[in-house]
Amino acid sequence: MNKIAEDRIAEEQGSNDIALELCALSRTFKLKRGFFQAEGEIKAVNNVSLRLYRGETLGLVGESGCGKSTLAKMLLGLLEPSSGNVLVNGKEIDPTQRMAAARHIQPIFQDPYSSLNPRKTVSQIVGLPLKLHGIGNAAEQRSKLREMLDLVGMPERTHHQYPNQLSGGQRQRVAIARALILRPDILICDEPTSALDVSVQAQILNLLLDLKREFGLTYLFISHDLGVVEHLVDRVAVMHQGSIVELETREKIFSQAQHPYTQMLLASALSPEPGLGIPDIVLQESPAYVMQ
Ligand SMILES: Nc1ncnc2c1ncn2[C@@H]1O[C@H](COP(=O)(O)OP(=O)(O)OP(=O)(O)O)[C@@H](O)[C@H]1O
């Protein structure tokens, strides 16, 4: 989909308030010579331009290795783009100003266990951003902390526990509380439920929906699970080999997908064969679909 189509969607939504803008973002990795591979480079993200409108949930889907996490890291200022830039609320992210960007944009990663410090308690983990950013005095910090832990459904008895004493779902609740304690506008959710049991997945997704309403958040929701995406997002961007090949409203993607790769993703998601997954197809060049 091109920019004109994106602008049309913005018009239909009655919004051109842009929370996050990616302008021709690319990231190349150098590949060292190895046993199975020659020296070279890989364009993990190739000239991606996207806008997230305030209050929307944009799904980013694509098979493993298509560049979703690389894109997410650049949005969070954790990885420098090879070219292009990222604007958060109209201001460019400078990777050296990560602290400033953290007030507006926060991540939730797939594996809450590895993203939580095992030597800190729940209260220490969630309270740390307030301390680092010098927000409020000690009493105010304690009250914000309790309020946030309450909102994400962490009972008081867990507040002094360590990550290894929590369930997977509780760990993800802690990660969500930590992401929200600074009251950011935008959450980058990178496969936030794929490490969880199915029953817990639904609870965490519902929590994310409730918090979005409560705080008026904007979400970039990265997932390979089209079932989850269908229930959660307003628009879907389909990524293939580093590029966005289709970007449309959820309704259009799920009922009238145009790009052959999107059609194939949808077909494999519906496949009755367990474990079939998404085949790694190589598309023929179809420049008409590639966003400029
Ligand atoms: N630090 C790195 N050095 C070299 N190549 C990298 C590096 N990080 C990612 N890549 C490559 O870039 C491509 C995109 O990787 P990325 O992790 O962004 O994909 P992904 O879509 O998030 O996959 P998954 O869903 O499996 O997490 C892959 O081919 C990967 O091997």
- Residue 277, ligand 1, Cβ within 6 A: no
- Supply the pLDDT for residue 111: 80
Q: Strand, coil or helix: what is 62?
A: coil
188-200 core/surface letters (b: 16 or more CB in 10 A; e: else): bbbbbbebbeeeb
Residue 239 has a pLDDT of 96
Q: How far, in Å, is the centroid of ligand 1 from the Cα of 275? A: 22
Q: Which numbered atom of ligand 1 lies nearest the CA of 224?
A: 25
- Is the shortest distance between the CB of 66 and ligand 1 below 6 Å? yes
Q: Is 70 close to ligand 1, i.e. is its CB under 6 Å away?
A: yes
CA angle, corner 184, sides to 183 and 190, nearest 5?
Answer: 125
* Closest ligand 1 atom to 30 CA: 4
Per-residue pLDDT of the chain (292 residues; tens, 9 = 90+): 455 555 555 555 544 699 999 999 999 998 877 766 667 899 999 999 999 999 999 999 999 999 999 999 999 888 999 999 999 988 887 766 767 777 899 999 988 778 899 999 999 999 999 999 999 999 999 999 999 999 999 999 999 999 999 999 999 999 999 999 999 999 999 999 888 888 899 999 999 999 999 999 999 999 988 888 988 999 999 999 999 999 999 999 999 999 999 999 998 876 654 443 333 333 333 333 222 2
Compute the distance between CA of residue 21 and CA of residue 6 in angstroms, rounded to an integer: 12
| 43 Cα–ligand 1 center, Å | 10
Report whether 49 contacts 72 (CB < 8 A). no
The pTM (predicted TM-score) of the whole model is 0.85
- Note the ipTM here: 0.96
Which ligand 1 atom lies nearest to the CA of residue 45? Answer: 14
In 3D space, the residue among 84, 218, 58 whose CA is nearest the CA of residue 92 turns out to be: 84
Domains in the chain and their CATH numbers?
Answer: 1-104+219-292 (3.40.50.300)
Which tokens is 113 given?
Answer: 């266990």
Q: 78: CA distance to ligand 1 center in Å?
A: 14
Measured in angstroms, how far is the CA atom of residue 29 from the centroid of ligand 1?
Answer: 9
- CA 113/CA 65 separation, integer angstroms: 22
**Distance (Å, rounded) from C-alpha 60 to C-alpha 247?**
9
d(CA 216, CA 207): 14
- How high is the pLDDT of residue 37? 65
Report which protein residue has its CA nearest ligand 1's atom 14. 67
- Starting at the edge strand that comes first in sequence, how are the strands of the sheet with 18-31 ordered? 40-53, 18-31, 83-88, 91-92
**Cβ neighbours for 235, distance < 8 A, ≥ 6 positions apart:** 9, 56, 57, 58, 59, 247, 248, 249, 250
